[in-house]
């Protein structure tokens, strides 16, 4: 792994931890911070490893015969496999108290994702498709200005994280904050994906499917709580 | 009805069995993916690579009417293995508008042909540079390297180390649009 990628990871993890630290005793119970942190990191690591393995498999590299390649994360991580594994890993870790733990983790996870996108500044990988907007940026030595698409994603996700924290003060029903966070992440990704240069087919339909799924979970959580007559 | 904080207050730790669970998950994933990706390599259909030198590569770049993505690789280079599928995909997508060239350095012919066969890189041209003099002459150091040249051979960008999908796609887009 190259140092610029490590820098981006450090920003993501730092923002995630800072958010959990800020929420501890305010919008999260102080004694659950450590458990949420452990579950988030475990989910992220499991997602990274499985996403890398799937990317290698799809590229025709056998991870059993080439175990060293697993460490070359920069060459690709399968986004869908990584996301599903991270969610399953996190859910498995907190399965005894899934919805409340998911709500506790949601703003930190969104902030961590914002940090990952902001890490483009150290990776020199912020730019997307060409644009004439006044805030578009050109590469050094180039005359083509482009959307700073990763900065868009970082700002949007950071805004979502702040709103979620503020909303948690009103004690919404269990699972609603996490569902809204998942929906917001999928929508931000859908909105920014057309501005990203990609090889092969775009993943936008997968993000659309994720948004629909998150909206369905949100509706289910709201309805469950209403039917139970609680908050 | 307990408050949200009270419902969060739960002393049981979730982390007790993390290492065992994580190991099981990783092991299962490795076994599944490993079983699905048996590499069958048959370099017999790959011709030996033509030797080249810095002057010949400079001439190739100067004569090219298309932009050129020049990748320096070697079969013994682990990061090169990881970026090879990306280069194959980029060639499949942009090969009609961008010329792809591979330079195999400090390698053997058998290793080079096996590498090309394993990753299906026979769709574009590769040259053999046993002494590894070409990258240094072009201004690069180490392996892998990816040079991006405008038509006529002027260097637009040099990426040292493993290239990622986003960077490769962005730089090819710059070449196609003539951003350099």
Q: What pLDDT shows up at residue A228?
A: 62
Query: What is the distance in angstroms between the CA of the first residue and the CA of the last residue of chain A?
Result: 46
Nearest to B85 among A42, A60, A139 (CB): A60
Nearest to A61 among B4, B81, B93 (CB): B81
CB contacts under 8 A, B 124-163 vs A, are 156-157, 161-163
In B14-172, DSSP assigns E strands to 50-51, 68-73, 99-105, 125-129, 145-149, 155-160
Most confident of the following: A55-64, A184-193, B14-23: A184-193
What pLDDT digit, counting tens, does each position of A82-118 carry? 999 999 999 999 999 999 999 999 999 999 999 999 9
Q: What pLDDT shows up at residue B121?
A: 94
**Measured distance CA(A105)–CA(A23) in Å, rounded:** 10
Instruction: Tell me whether 0.95 is exceeded by the ipTM.
Output: no
Residues 6+ apart with CB under 8 A from B88: B119, B120, B121, B123
Q: What pLDDT shows up at residue B1?
A: 40
pLDDT for residue A60 is more than 50 = yes
Min CA distance, B98 vs chain A (Å)? Answer: 14
Give me the DSSP letters along B107-139. Answer: --HHHHHHHHHHHT-TTSEEEEETT-HHHHHHT
What pLDDT digit, counting tens, does each position of B140-179 carry? 999 999 999 999 999 999 999 989 899 999 999 999 998 7
Higher-confidence residue of A137 and B35: namely: A137
Higher-confidence residue of A93 and A61: namely: A93
Q: Could you check whether the bond before residue B144 is cis, i.e. omega within 30 degrees of 0? A: yes
Please report, rounded to a whole number, the percentage of residues in chain B having pLDDT higher than 90: 66
Q: What pLDDT shows up at residue B32?
A: 62
- Please report residues of A whose CB lies closer than 8 A to that of B119: 59-60
Q: What pLDDT shows up at residue B7?
A: 47
The mean-pLDDT minimum among A69-78, A111-120, B5-14, B48-57 falls in B5-14
Min CA distance, A58 vs chain B (Å)? Answer: 8
- pLDDT classification of A229: cutoffs 50, 70, 90: low
What pLDDT digit, counting tens, does each position of B110-120 carry? 999 999 998 99
Long-range pairs of B129-133 with CB within 8 A, sequence gap ≥ 24: B129/B51, B129/B52, B129/B53, B129/B103, B129/B104, B129/B105, B130/B51, B130/B105, B130/B106, B131/B106, B132/B105, B132/B106, B133/B53, B133/B54
* Contact (CB<8Å) B161/A74: yes
- Please report residues of B whose CB lies closer than 8 A to that of A59: 82, 84-86, 119
Higher-confidence residue of A229 and B19: namely: B19
Q: What pLDDT shows up at residue A58?
A: 85
Q: What pLDDT shows up at residue A1?
A: 47
Nearest to A144 among B120, B165, B179 (CB): B179
Q: What pLDDT shows up at residue B2?
A: 44
B14 to chain A, any CB pair closer than 8 A? The answer is yes
Min CA distance, B113 vs chain A (Å)? Answer: 16
């Amino acid at each position: 792994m190259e140092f610029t990628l490590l820098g981006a990871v450090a920003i993501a993890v730092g923002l995630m931890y800072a958010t959990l630290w800020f929420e501890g005793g305010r919008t999260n119970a102080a004694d659950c911070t450590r458990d949420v942190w452990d579950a988030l990191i475990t989910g992220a690591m499991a997602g990274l490893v499985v996403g890398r393995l799937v990317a290698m498999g799809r590229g025709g590299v056998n991870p059993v015969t080439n175990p060293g390649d697993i460490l070359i994360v920069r060459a690709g991580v399968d986004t869908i496999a990584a996301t599903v594994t991270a969610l399953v890993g996190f859910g498995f870790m907190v399965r005894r108290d899934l919805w409340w733990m998911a709500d506790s983790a949601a703003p930190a996870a969104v902030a961590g994702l914002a940090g990952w996108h902001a890490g483009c500044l150290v990776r020199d990988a912020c730019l997307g498709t060409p644009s004439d907007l006044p805030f578009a940026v050109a590469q050094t030595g180039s005359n083509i200005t482009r959307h700073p698409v990763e900065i868009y994603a970082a700002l949007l996700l950071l805004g979502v994280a702040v709103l979620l924290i503020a909303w948690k003060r009103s004690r919404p029903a269990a699972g609603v904050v996490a569902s809204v966070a998942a929906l917001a992440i999928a929508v931000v990704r859908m909105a920014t994906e057309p501005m990203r240069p990609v090889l092969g087919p775009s993943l936008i339909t997968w993000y659309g499917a994720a948004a629909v799924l998150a909206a369905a979970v949100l509706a289910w959580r709201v309805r469950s709580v209403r039917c139970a007559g609680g908050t | 009805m307990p408050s949200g904080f009270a419902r969060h207050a739960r002393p049981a730790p979730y982390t007790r069995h993390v290492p065992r669970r994580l190991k099981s998950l990783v092991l299962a994933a490795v076994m599944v993916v490993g079983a699905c990706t048996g590499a069958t390599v048959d370099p017999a259909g790959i011709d030996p690579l033509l030797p080249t030198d810095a002057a010949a590569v400079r001439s190739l770049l100067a004569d090219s009417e298309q932009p050129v993505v020049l990748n320096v690789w070697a079969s013994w280079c682990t990061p090169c293995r990881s970026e090879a599928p990306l280069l194959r995909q980029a060639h499949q997508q942009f090969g009609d508008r961008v010329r792809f060239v591979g330079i195999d350095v400090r390698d053997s012919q058998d290793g080079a042909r096996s590498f090309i066969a394993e990753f299906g890189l026979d769709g574009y041209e590769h040259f053999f540079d046993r002494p590894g003099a070409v990258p240094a002459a072009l201004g690069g150091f180490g392996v892998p390297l990816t040079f991006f040249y405008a038509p006529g051979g002027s260097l637009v960008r040099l990426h040292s180390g493993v290239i990622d999908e986003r960077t490769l796609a962005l730089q090819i887009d710059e070449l196609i649009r003539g951003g350099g």
